[in-house]
Amino acid sequence: MQPKIKTKQNYTPNDVGMLLGVHHNTIKNWIKSNQVLAFQTVGGHYRVPRREVVRLIKDRGLPVPEELQGPMGLLYVVDDDELIRRAMEDALDDTYEIYTFSNGFDALMQMGRLKPDLLVLDIYMPGIDGLALVKKIRQDEKLTSIHVIGMSGKSVDAAHAIASGFNEFFDKNDGLLPIVSKVREFLGTPV
């Protein structure tokens, strides 16, 4: 019988070790040797995303606890407008693992450690804008598979956005609901 565990987006090495029946130091060693995908908090503590915990459980032929089942997509939302970031997070954070960034540079740095399944990216931002960021993503063989949804509140030719590397484009003036719907369609919705 597997131990009970709370539904979270990220788990400690202790949590993962308990689920797999191994010592937490074994999990830390697997993280250090890149056998387990994880990231470090500001305080230096390891956290393992829920989707990685499920992969580890399945790889060992163990049943996945009910608390860990359901959609588990990792989503990045990059927009310099805090209201947009908050609205997207409010609409999606109960369902998906979501990280928000106010600029392309911070998002790109995090992608090097934890690659998202889906990126929702504002085209016009200070610093590295969405066009420059999607170009960098498409040039990096480790990141090129990321599905990127572009959005803007300014006049943008959708065909130009797609040709620049975005998989899809939405006008923020049409509201966020179409973008949220596309995220749910791409990552899956809870049953």
Residues 46-89: pLDDT tens digits?
Answer: 988 887 888 899 899 988 888 887 666 789 999 999 999 999 99
For the chain, the straight-line distance linking the first and the last C-alpha, in angstroms and rounded, comes to 25
CATH number of 10-68: 1.10.1660.10
User: Whose CA is closest to 62, among 18, 30, 20?
Assistant: 20
CATH label, 74-187, candidates 3.40.50.970, 3.40.50.2300, 3.20.20.70, 3.90.1170.50:
3.40.50.2300
Q: 């599905």: which residue's tokens?
A: 147
DSSP 8-state symbol, 15: H
Q: What does pTM read for this prediction? A: 0.67
Boundaries of every domain in the chain:
10-68, 74-187
Confidence at residue 191, expressed as pLDDT on a 0 to 100 scale: 37
Tokens of 129: 């804008």
Q: How confident is the model at residue 71, as a pLDDT?
A: 61
Closest CA to 116 of 88, 145, 150, 152: 145
pLDDT surpassing 60 at residue 125: yes
Q: Scanning the structure block, which residue is given the tokens 């989503």? A: 75
Q: What is the pLDDT of residues 126-178, one digit of tens each?
A: 888 899 999 999 998 888 888 999 999 888 888 888 999 999 999 999 999 99
